[in-house]
Amino acid sequence: MDLLKRSIAECIGTLILVFIGCGTVCVLGGDLLGIAAAFGLAVTIMIYTIGAVSGCHINPAVSIALCAAKKFPVKDTAAYCTAQFIGASLGAGLIILVMGMDALTSGGLGMTAPAVGISVFQAVLAEFIGTFILMMVIMGVAVDRRAVSGFAGLAIGASVLAVILVIGKISGGSINPARTFGPDLMALIFSGSDALWTTFPIYVIGPILGAVCAALLYCKMAGKDNC
């Protein structure tokens, strides 16, 4: 399918992920289970909605990892990542449009940041591990040729939910550079937040390294015939 159409699907998918997930943060506050469920359900819904169009990466770490494992073209990866960052920014902007500036002041627009007392290293490690787990699931249920069809959305969505439950109170549970970029950018524009320059790198380094390591390791374990 045409790259532009697939990129538009990725943009829309990431927009919806951020609107639902980060919007839930603004509504529920510290209810980690509710927030994790919202992100997991959003991922599941999008996989079954746009999966047939673009593969539903909706996460730059996933696109980059698939590219590193030679399962996705470089030029497509650049287009997908751009679309995902745009979609995440639009999704965060829609939250402000719908909820007003209260979304920034009360819910922090769903921004991610290490918890009090958590070091940068711990936050990066948590994001690495969380995204490693997510990518291993993706490789096993969506990339491996032996995977049973029809269950990828449920498995991947469940893994997102589970990971956020574990690391949400440590690093914020982003496991997705675009998911953090969108709220950070809108917070910069509307409130002058410096998160894009201070904490955002955590959510680039950890998730991308975790996803790439998982994809490469899975391909080694599964072998060329299956991956």
Whether residue 205 is contained in a domain is answered as yes
- The answer to pTM > 0.85 is yes
User: At residue 26, what are phi and psi to the nearest 5 degrees?
Assistant: -65, -30
- pLDDT at residue 12, rounded to an integer: 98
Q: Which domain holds residue 134?
A: 3-222
In a domain, 35, yes or no: yes
Q: What is the pLDDT of residues 112-148, one digit of tens each?
A: 999 999 999 999 999 999 999 999 999 999 999 888 8
Q: Could you tell me what percentage of the chain is helix, strand and coil, using 3-state DSSP and rounding each to the nearest 5?
A: 75, 0, 25
Spacing of C-alpha 74 from chain mean position = 19
pLDDT digits (tens, 9 = 90+) for 175-223: 999 999 999 999 999 998 999 999 999 999 999 999 999 999 999 998 8
Rounded CA separation 81/205 (Å): 15
Sign of CA dihedral 203, 204, 206, 211: positive
Residue 92's identity, in one-letter code, is A
**Residues 133/49, Cβ–Cβ less than 8 Å:** no
Residue 58 has what pLDDT? 98
Q: What pLDDT does 129 receive?
A: 98
pLDDT average, residue stretch 2-28: 96
Give the chain's domain count: 1
Mean pLDDT of 150-164: 96
Whether 114 and 199 have beta carbons less than 8 Å apart is answered as yes
pLDDT in tens, 41-65: 999 999 999 999 999 999 999 999 9
pLDDT at residue 148, rounded to an integer? 83
Query: What is the pLDDT, as a whole number, of residue 176?
Result: 98
Residue 121 lies in a domain: yes
Residues 166-188 have pLDDT tens digits of 999 999 999 999 999 999 999 99
Q: What is the pLDDT of residues 89-122, one digit of tens each?
A: 999 999 999 999 888 877 789 999 999 999 999 9
CATH number, domain of 111, equals 1.20.1080.10
175 domain residue, yes or no: yes
Give me the residue label for tokens 């494992």.
Answer: 69
In a domain, 171, yes or no: yes
Q: How would you class 79 by CB atoms within 10 Å of its CB: exposed for 0-12, middle for 13-18, buried for 19 or more?
A: middle
Tokens of 183: 């709220």
